[in-house]
Amino acid sequence: MFSLQNLTRSCLTRCCVHTEIFFLCLVVFLSSLTQSNGIGEVIWAVNCGGEAHTDVHGIRYKTDKLDVGIVSDYGKTLSIGRVVHQDQILYQTERYHMETFGYDIPIKEDGDYVLVLKFCEVWFTSPGKKVFDVMLNKELSIVEDLDIFAKVGRGVAHDEIVQFSVVNGNLKVNDEISRMDGKLALEFVKGDNDNPKINAIYIMKGTIEDVPKLPPLPGLEIHHTNNTPYKQHTPYKQHTSHKQHTPYKQHTSHKQQTPHKQHTPHKQHTLHKQHTPHNQHTPHKQHTPYKQYTIQTTYTIQTTYTTQTTYTTQTTYIT
């Protein structure tokens, strides 16, 4: 009987432990699902130039039915960077126009919102080819001089994230206020370089922290509209000082100025070889611009051995 009680207690304990583990796993799963979908509620989303799509975060994009501009799926020829395969379609299709164009987005309630604009450069292969602005309600500039290639390159996903709020029916962005009348007018403004475009859009209730972010590029931070590190950190354009200032080519003074070769006084001024007056005494014969005076002296020494020795010395004075 005692053994049966112990066995029953052991089984109940194990059952409780497994139940706790099950509920713990369920909580973790639901928590991760909530985080992936973001805290905010997506109130409007469209896959520009493409069909309806649900991304990995559960955001449901509608088919683009705008009748302005031109749709393109040329991006399908590329594999888009910074995004999972399932959601590459959001950056492969697009709508562009040869003039300014946009979308009217209904917003009925006051509150905090986040506008997410998705871009990808699929055509140009250098910066400065496509540059345009993005505005709200025709008067509030939220993105200026957008050059997608300059920010991330070709075939790479890029998101512009804009925080705004609606207060008493008025739009407020960075302390600037504009009248809404129940809808948000989103415009892509044509500039001097090519045509404006957009790949996908959605609006979410909440703050920037609630928005799923793209993974950062190597060495760069995630970009938000109010903090533009991509414009500040453009190393390939700004930091070309090493190519402009080539000190190794300019400062070759040791090769150009070879004083040891030019100033060789020992070779040029060989005075000891040219002026050897003690041995040769020939310069006076060659250069006789002056008068010469020669004095000859003869010495005779006679000995008893009838040996006669004569010494003759000649001295020349030049005046």
Q: Which phi-psi region, left, alpha or beta, contains residue 293 (left: φ > 0; alpha: ψ -120 to 50)?
A: beta
Which residue ranges in the chain fall short of pLDDT 70? 1-39, 219-319
Q: What is the pLDDT of residue 60?
A: 97
Q: What is the pLDDT of residue 3?
A: 55
Q: What is the pLDDT of residue 158?
A: 98
Question: If residue 185 lies in a helix (H) or strand (E), which one and from where to where?
Answer: strand 183-193
Largest CA distance in the chain: 167
Q: Which phi-psi region, left, alpha or beta, contains residue 219 (left: φ > 0; alpha: ψ -120 to 50)?
A: left
CA distance linking residue 225 with residue 268, whole number of Å: 74
Domains of the chain are: 38-237 (2.60.120.430), 280-318 (no CATH)
Q: What is the pLDDT of residue 24?
A: 42
Tens-place pLDDT, residues 54-84: 999 999 999 999 999 999 999 999 999 999 9
DSSP 51-86: --EE-TT--EEEEP---SSEEE-GGGGSPPBTS-GG
